[in-house]
Every structure is written in C-alpha cells, then in structure tokens.
Structure 1
Amino acid sequence: MNLPDPDRAPCPCDLGTTRGVTLADCCGRYHAGPLHLQAPDALALMRSRYSAYVLDRLDYLRATWDASCCPVDLSANEPGLRWLGLEIRSHRLIDADHQEVSFVARSKFGGKAHRLVETSRFERRDGRWLYLDGQVGTPRRT
C-alpha cells in the first residue's frame, strides 16, 4: 500500500490550507533539508512551528525554542486532537533581531473547539530565529 507523501500535502499553516502550497515548499523546508532551522524571519518561524505542532515534529520545536525556557515535558499531540488552522493577526518588527507575531491557532479535542490566542516574541541569535515566549490573550493588531 502506498501512503501519500506528507511533503506533497498542503502545508498545515494557512499558506497551505488557503493557497495550496505544499509542506515541502513551505514550512517543511525549515523542518529538514538544506534550509533546516533557517527561517528568514519570525513570521516564517511561527508558521513552521505551528506546522511542527500539527505534525508532532518535537525535535524541530525544541531546536527553535530558546533553551532557557523550552519545557522539558514537551510531548506529542494527544490522540484525537485535531489542529484546524492558523491565523496570523500581526507581525511586528521591533529591531533587526527582535520580532513579535500575534496569531490564533484553532484546534478541536474531545468534541470541543479551542483557540490559542497569543502574541509571541522571537529573537535572532547567530543568524537563527528562536521562539522566546508568548503572552496568551488578545493578539496585538498593528
């Protein structure tokens, strides 16, 4: 039995679901391959981290999280959890090495819909963007 190639499926981030961009041509290129861990800005990193959550790519999440605040108990999605979509609300450049991304991530678990609303902070170190932390609540619009 031939299983579909996940890299040819639409990317889980909103670029794949709304515009039909494949995982390989979108977030997947930062998960593995020549551009591994090389998201060009915080927005691309945010999208690729959302896709990594959807796909349970925990190594990528850990590698893109500031080591001082990465949770030790990061675990795979619970069976039955479905990620439904990502909506970017804003992308704010603070300076050359600091950016914020406000987003809403929707999921469904146990028959109930959930929304994670967050403004995330990112920092570029040694040419790589890292997730620092996020403030849960109403996303900032700019």
Structure 2
Amino acid sequence: MTKAPIVVLGARVIDGRPSRMLEARLSAALGLFHDDPGRPVVVSGFGEADVMADWLAAHGVPRGAITLERAARSTNENLENSRALFPSAARLIVVTNGFHVLRTKVWAWHLGIPVTVVAAETPASSRVRNYAREVVALPHSVARVAWRRLVRGLGGR
C-alpha cells in the first residue's frame, strides 16, 4: 500500500509566485514532508501546480517526490484527481487553510475519499475576507453535494 500522499490544494498565484495563503499551505506541507520524507507530495491546481512544485523544490523537497496535478479547478476536482494519482493509498493528507477545512471534509466525504485535513494558518490580512466567503461557499457546496446525492438516489448519474 502506498504511503498517504500529502496533497496541497492550490490557491492564488501572484506574478508567478505563491500568494501568502498558498505559501502557508506549502510551508505546512513542507513540515509534513520533513516529518516523513518518504511521503509523496501532490501539488494540485490549474495554473498553480508548477509554481507550487518550484517552491517546494526550492525549499528542499526532491523533484522526484513531487507529483503535479494540473487540471483541478475546484476543491472536489483537487480531491478526485489527486486520489486518481494514488488509488492504493489508504487516505490523503490534504493541506489547506483553516477556513477551508470543513468544505474540504464535506467534499471528501461525498466523494468517498478518506482524508486527514491539515489546516495551514490563514494570513491575518485575508482572514476576514476568506471566512466571510466561506459563509456562502460552504452552504453552496453542501447544497451541491445534497443535490448530487438526491439525483443519484433517484436513479440519475
């Protein structure tokens, strides 16, 4: 069985560099990697994965330990695509910011993907904005999950 990969969810990139929020996620993942250097690291996000991989490599993670997932544009796609890369792993260790933990867990539950979610610190300058955004984003995701389950229960796809 494959060791649980560390999956870093993408976030904003500014001028080819990780935003402070993304850098917090990468720093948390770096700490997890140093605790167990045998774990693979997945950087997931459309337009962000390469920047994330470069940051991790510049901070000592060997390129061979980094897997790029470049297609995901949402939390559920991050999880689905990362799981597809490591189907034999018992679980994914998912790194995101604290405000995003619950939504990540909702999607993982819906998709049937076992996860341990690690909360990176959210930079103080963006806490209010991001927690306020979750007031809308979390119920929206819960409604999408409920709708998908309802449709599936009615014989839809």
- Is the TM-score greater than 0.5? no
Structure of higher RCO (CA pairs closer than 8 Å, 6+ residues apart): 2
Q: Which has the higher helix share?
A: 2
TM-score calculated relative to the size of structure 1: 0.28
Instruction: Give TM-score, length-normalised by structure 2.
Output: 0.26
